[in-house]
């Protein structure tokens, strides 16, 4: 069964900027989709449409065959608890600690709540930032914040992970580490959609490459 379908989707940002033109994309359970293309191509817009932050101007999006236009805000929040989203601009709470930022994600998803502390430290250690657990996010470097954003999204083992340039601020060693984690996540049969123009990631032959240019899909391998 398809998890997500974009059917003839166009997005026009007011007043008349065509950010996406007639996009057709099917995401099946267990897919690893790599969305690529130059700056401004529309990658983030595709992701925002999928997680419901923007609405298509034309066309329709389906989640498990249910059209988004039939969904209420409440349904969306429910689905999103089951999805992990890594935002290009992190979207962390700057005045909360690293630990608190991650904890919120587990509480909202109602997952691993009993083993929360152990699990959070396990992930922080894996990402080499456990010594920052009690620091406020605004005191972290960009790369460290990116790591917290990644942990927050994957720690709840979401059914689908949506990752917008998750390695944009990281050094090669951290990028390698994160790639391993993403591959592992996908090996478990979970769905992953990743937007990136990082050549290191693109050269890995990870999954289905979807190429965008100026809002048009130019390649769907």
Shortest Cβ 37–Mg ion spacing (Å): 10
Residue 73 touches which member of Mg ion, ligand ATP, none, C-beta under 5-8 Å by kind: none
3-state helix, strand, coil split of the chain in percent (to 5) is 35, 30, 35
- Per-residue x/- marks for ligand ATP, 74-103, CB under 6 A? --------------x---------------
Residue 149 touching ligand ATP (CB under 6 A):
no
Contact at 8 Å (CB) between 144 and 132?
Answer: yes
Please say whether the beta carbons of 178 and 170 come within 8 A: yes
67 counts as binding ligand ATP under rule CB under 6 A = no
Identify residues 80-139 at the interface with Mg ion (CB under 5 A). 88
Q: Which of 44, 145, 167, 169 binds Mg ion (CB under 5 A)?
A: 44
* 3-class secondary-structure state, position 193: strand
How far, in Å, CA of 16 to CA of 5, rounded?
25
Which of Mg ion, ligand ATP, none binds 42 (CB below 5-8 Å, type-dependent)?
Answer: ligand ATP
> CA 148 to CA 210: how far, in whole Å?
27
What residues pair up with 2 in beta bridges, in sequence order? 28
Beta strands at 32-36 and 208-213: parallel, antiparallel or unpaired: parallel
Regarding 152 and contact with ligand ATP (CB under 6 A), the answer is: no
CA 12/CA 94 separation, integer angstroms: 32
Nearer to Mg ion, 53 or 157 (CB): 53
**Is 30 or 143 the residue whose CB approaches ligand ATP more closely?**
143
Of ligand ATP, Mg ion, none, which one sits near residue 17, judging by CB under 5 to 8 A according to partner kind? ligand ATP
Residue nearest to Mg ion (CB): 44
Q: Which two tokens stand for residue 151?
A: 């942990």
Task: Please give the residue ranges that form the binding site for ligand ATP (CB under 6 A).
Answer: 13, 17, 19, 37, 39-45, 88, 197
């Amino acid at each position: 069964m398809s998890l997500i379908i974009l059917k003839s989707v166009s997005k026009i940002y007011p007043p008349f900027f065509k950010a996406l033109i007639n996009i057709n994309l099917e995401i099946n359970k267990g897919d690893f989709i790599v969305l690529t293309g130059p700056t401004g191509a529309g990658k983030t817009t595709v992701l925002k449409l999928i997680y419901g932050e923007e609405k298509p101007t034309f066309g329709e999006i389906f989640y498990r065959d249910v059209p988004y236009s039939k969904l209420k805000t409440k349904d969306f929040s429910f689905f999103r608890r089951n999805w992990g989203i890594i935002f290009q601009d992190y979207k962390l709470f700057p005045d909360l600690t690293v630990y608190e930022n991650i904890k919120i994600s587990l509480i909202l998803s109602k997952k691993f709540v009993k083993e929360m502390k152990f699990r959070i430290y396990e992930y922080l250690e894996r990402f080499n930032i456990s010594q920052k657990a009690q620091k406020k996010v605004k005191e972290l470097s960009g790369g460290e914040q990116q790591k917290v954003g990644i942990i927050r999204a994957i720690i709840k083992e979401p059914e689908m992970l949506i990752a917008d340039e998750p390695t944009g601020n990281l050094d090669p060693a951290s990028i390698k580490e994160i790639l391993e984690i993403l591959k592992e996540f996908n090996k478990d049969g979970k769905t992953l959609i990743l937007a990136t123009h990082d050549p290191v990631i693109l050269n890995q032959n990870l999954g289905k490459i979807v190429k965008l240019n100026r809002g048009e899909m130019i390649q769907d391998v």
